[in-house]
Amino acid sequence: MRVNFVRGAPVEWLLDPEAEPWSRAQAEKVELYGTPIGMQPTEIIRTAWANRKIGAVGEVRVSALHNGEVIAFRLDWPDATENRDLDDTSAFPDGAAIMLPVVAGAPLATMGAEGKPVSIWYWRADADTQGRNVLSEGIGTSRTLDTKLVSSHGVWRNGRWNVVIARPFKIQSSDPQVALEPGQTTEFGVAVWEGSNSERGGVKAFSGAWRPLEIAPSTGGGKA
Amino acid sequence: MSKRQVAMVFDLNKCLGCQTCTIACKRLWTREEGMDYMWWATVNTMPGRGTPRDWETSGGGFKDGAAQPGRMPSRKDFGEAWKFNHEEVFFGGKGQSTHLHVEGDQPDWGPNWDEDQGGGEYPNSYYFYLPRICNHCTHPACLEACPRKAIVKREEDGIVLIDEDRCRGYRFCMEACPYKKIYFNHVKKVSQKCIFCFPRVEQGVAPACARMCPGRVRFVGYKDDQNGPIWKLVEKWKVAIPLHPEFGTEPNVFYVPPIAPPRYDENGNIDESKPRIPDEYLVSLFGPKVLDVLAILKAEMAKTRAGEKSEVLDVLIAYQWKSMFGGFDRDPATIEWTKG
Ligand code: SF4
Ligand code: SF4
């Protein structure tokens, strides 16, 4: 997927999934698969989900833009239910995430491995604009590094989620973080959680394999 | 398994159902945001559907070592924190024309909803109180369910704690715990539960529910402390057994089962041929071992009636209040507490 450069696009535009610049992005359809039952990290989860469908969302449209300073992904998918709250114990929120390898060769299916971390930018409908910057080195190890670096915002309208997840290129951090810059190529993965199906944690739909990501250089790109 | 294990024994023959333990816990631990419906310590009338509603048949735990699927209790099953029209009744100037009631939706369940209903038919009706906390299990289903390793069992004392920084509110633990002793904080979006008053225990102070209990029901101590009450009641005298051992989590809260007064026959005479609380019912709660325990207790009671001494009854009577706490008998008023 190509991350198009939109010269001068204000961050607020990139963070608005319905804003005009997104019409200039090249959306790519990404097929999603339920995480395999055998990969669920605890026996209790494997038992509880043995006869339940994991991965209610089968496909998501992904596009991405950058303005030279911030890179933003937009995910949109059909969803009949807008699950934003956790009012009852059995209510789970919808969620989505973008995953990027911190080092080349980090495995996607296990969310990284020891010494091969992945970076996860995470949006959850109950904390809409508080994106999470998560680091993972294997299933069960993910930890939130901060809730400031990653911005997010989702709009649910007419049975569709339209969610933006963004991060600045340049960051200062002592934690392992994915280094990104215009002109670079890397890979990305996607995950979607369907709250109405009680999806949370490793119970989710994911993109199965890394997909190429080509970040356009900060040249040309037209005016926003 | 942890190196050591703190445990409790609840003597059901002494529980008054006064809820002092419940309130002691509430005032100490569950007064913050999102905790209003939480009761880490509960006391229910048995037989009854309990707190949360029908928890005994909600699955979870282990069977022959294999994890069992469990149901997620709803907030209504626990019972909401009802809002009452206190203002109107006390300050509304309406006199007798109004009365105290729950505002909004009328509840159909709550903690201790079926209080004192019990079972059996008059004149042989029966009930007893069942206090419950998290059992700080040796094989904790909650801990094993969590994909984030957010639940830990402490090496030094076996207390099971949820790390709220690691918890992401997935609630697999709530489904897995067969005792349904985990609550979800809807404001903090994390799971929360009884902490065995670990900040007190670390200072040699017994948990608040135990210290506050006017019935001298709740014994505390290390399971392996041969001078303490737990070892004596559980290991030596074998009169305290876990609730629903078949759930497979190996609880560290043990119960001395209740002995009810005798029955009456059709003619109104005392009938000692059958127990008032049906054996089957107690077996359904505590497993078949409960019958052995009742036999031991009865034999010990017979001994004391014959003028002999009974160590186990002396322990259960708890002549010395402090003897109940297995060394965790420091007065909390002697400690300067700070909120971390
Ligand atoms: S009673 Fe439930 S919450 Fe407490 S340790 Fe056992 S399984 Fe966990
Ligand atoms: S404080 Fe003691 S007597 Fe009162 S309900 Fe609790 S366990 Fe029973």
Please report which ligand is nearest the Cα atom of B17.
2
Single-letter amino acid, residue A177: Q
Q: What pLDDT score does B281 carry?
A: 98
Q: Ligand 2 pocket test: which of B10, B16, B211 has the largest number of ligand atoms within 8 Å of its C-beta?
A: B16
Q: Is cis: bond before B52, omega within 30 of 0? A: yes
Assign residue B63 the CATH number of its domain: 3.30.70.20
What residues of chain B score a pLDDT lower than 50? none
The predicted pLDDT at position B337 comes to: 87
Question: Using one digit for the tens of pLDDT, what is the confidence trace for B179-237?
Answer: 999 999 999 999 999 999 999 999 999 999 999 999 999 999 999 999 999 999 999 99
Q: Residue B67: nearest ligand to its CA?
A: 1
Q: Is B141 in the pocket of ligand 1 (CB under 6 A)?
A: yes
pLDDT score of A86: 82
pLDDT of residue B321: 97
Contact flag A140-B148 (C-beta cutoff 8 Å): yes
Contact yes or no for A42 and B172 at CB 8 A? yes
Spatial distance between the Cα atoms of A90 and B172, rounded to a whole number of angstroms: 11
Which stretches of chain B sit within 8 Å of chain A by CB? 66-70, 72-76, 141, 144-149, 166, 168-172, 174-176, 184, 186, 189
d(CA B225, CA B102): 47
Half-sphere CA count of B267, side-chain side, radius 13 A: 3
- Report pLDDT digits (tens) over A183-208: 999 999 999 999 999 999 999 999 99
What is the chain A residue with the closest CA to B62? A44
B145 lines ligand 1 (CB under 6 A): no
Of residues B69, B172, B186, nearest to A86 (C-beta): B186
Q: Residue range A137-157: average pLDDT?
A: 94
pTM of the complete model: 0.94
- Give the residue extent of every domain in chain A: 2-223
Q: Write down the mean pLDDT value for chain A.
A: 94
Q: Ligand 2 centroid vs A120 CA: distance in angstroms?
A: 48
- Chain centre distance of CA B274: 28
Question: How many angstroms separate the CA atoms of B98 and B207, rounded?
Answer: 41
Distance between CA atoms of B148 and B173, rounded to whole angstroms? 11
Q: In 3-state terms, what secondary structure has residue A149? A: coil
Q: Which domain holds residue B188?
A: 6-76+112-334
Q: Does A84 touch chain B (CB under 8 A)?
A: no
- What's the total number of domains in chain B? 1
Alpha-carbon gap, residue A194 to A80, rounded angstroms:
10
**For A92-121, what is the mean pLDDT?**
96
pLDDT band at residue A223 under the 50/70/90 scheme: low
State how far the Cα of B71 lies from the Cα of B59, in Å rounded to an integer: 6
Among A48, A201, A202, select the one facing B69 at the smallest CB separation. A48
Residue contact A201–B69, C-beta within 8 A: no
Burial class (CB in 10 A: 0-12, 13-18, 19+), B285: buried
Q: How confident is the model at residue A224 (pLDDT cuts 50, 70, 90)?
A: low
Give me the mean pLDDT over the A60-77 stretch: 97
Q: What's the complex ipTM?
A: 0.93
Q: B279 vs chain A: nearest CA distance in angstroms?
A: 33
- CB-based contact B306:B293 (threshold 8 Å): no
Helix (H) or strand (E) holding A61: strand A59-66
Q: Which of B165, B188, B174, B164 is nearest to B140 (CA)?
A: B174
Nearest atom within ligand 2 for CA of residue B19: 5
Each residue of A3-34: pLDDT tens digit? 999 999 999 999 999 998 898 888 999 999 99
- Ligand 2 neighbours by CB, cut-off 6 Å: B 15-21, 43, 129, 131, 213, 215, 217-218
User: Residue A134: pLDDT above 90?
Assistant: yes
Contact A76, A59 (CB under 8 A): no
Q: What is the pLDDT of residue A23?
A: 85
Residue with tokens 């979006």: B189
pLDDT at residue A32, rounded to an integer: 98
Q: How far apart are CA A63 and CA A57, in angstroms?
A: 17
Chain A CB contacts of B185 below 8 Å: none
B51 located within any domain = yes
The answer to whether position B26 is within a domain reads: yes
The half-sphere exposure of B70 on its side-chain side, counting CA atoms within 13 A, is 34
* Alpha-carbon distances, residue A223 vs A21, A158, A218, B39, B228 (angstroms): 10, 30, 12, 59, 78
Is A85 a residue whose pLDDT tops 90? no
Answer yes or no: is B83 within a domain. no
Work out how many CB contacts closer than 8 A connect A with B: 65
Atom index in ligand 2 nearest the CA of residue B14 equals 3
Give the integer Cα–Cα distance in Å for B194 and B213.
17
Q: Are B107 and B80 in contact (CB under 8 A)?
A: yes
**B209 in Cβ contact with B133 (< 8 Å):** yes
B189 to chain A: closest CA residue: A86
Q: Give the distance from residue B75's alpha carbon to the nearest chain A alpha carbon, in angstroms.
A: 6
10 Å CB burial of residue B200 (0-12, 13-18, 19+) is buried
Q: Residue B285: inside a domain, yes or no? A: yes
Beta-bridge partners for A101:
A118
Q: Least CA distance to A51: which residue of chain B?
A: B69
Confidence of residue A38 (pLDDT cuts 50, 70, 90): very high
Residue B86 lies in a domain: no
Which atom of ligand 1 lies at the shortest distance from residue B180's CA? 2
- Distance of alpha carbon A86 from alpha carbon A89, whole angstroms: 7
Rounded CA gap, B195 and B149, in Å? 17
Supply the pLDDT for residue B339.
76
Q: For the structural domain made of A2-223, what CATH number should be given?
A: 2.60.40.1190
Categorise residue B61: left if φ over 0, alpha if ψ from -120 to 50, beta otherwise: left
Q: Which has more confidence, B23 or A174?
A: B23
Q: Are the Cβ atoms of B171 and A89 closer than 8 angstroms?
A: yes
Q: Is A155 on the interface with B (CB under 8 A)?
A: no
Residues in A closer than 8 angstroms to B166, CB to CB, are 143
For residue B101, tell me if it sits in a domain. Answer: no
Query: Which of B172, B173, B175 to substitute to test the interface with A, most A CBs within 10 Å?
Result: B172
Tell whether the torsion through CA atoms of B5, B2, A113 and A182 is positive or negative. positive
Which residues, other chains included, contact B209 with Cβ-Cβ below 8 Å and sequence gap of 6+?
B21, B22, B24, B25, B41, B131, B133, B197, B218
List Cβ neighbours of B177 (8 Å cut-off, separation of 6 or more).
B60, B61, B70, B140, B141, B142, B145, B249
Q: Are A40 and B148 in contact (CB under 8 A)?
A: no
Residues of B whose CB is below 8 A from A202: 147
Indicate which residue's Cα is closest to atom 5 of ligand 1: B136
Ligand 1 pocket check for B133: Cβ under 6 Å = no
Q: In A17-49, which positions are buried (b, 16+ CB within 10 angstroms) versus exposed (e)? A: bebebbeebebeebebebbeeeebbbbbbebbb
Structural domain contains residue B88? no
Count other C-beta atoms under 10 Å from residue B338's C-beta: 6
Tell me which H or E stretch contains A99.
strand A95-101
Work out the average pLDDT over A135-156.
Answer: 94
The tokens for B7 are: 């445990």
Contacts with B308 (C-beta within 8 Å, 6 or more apart), sequence order: none
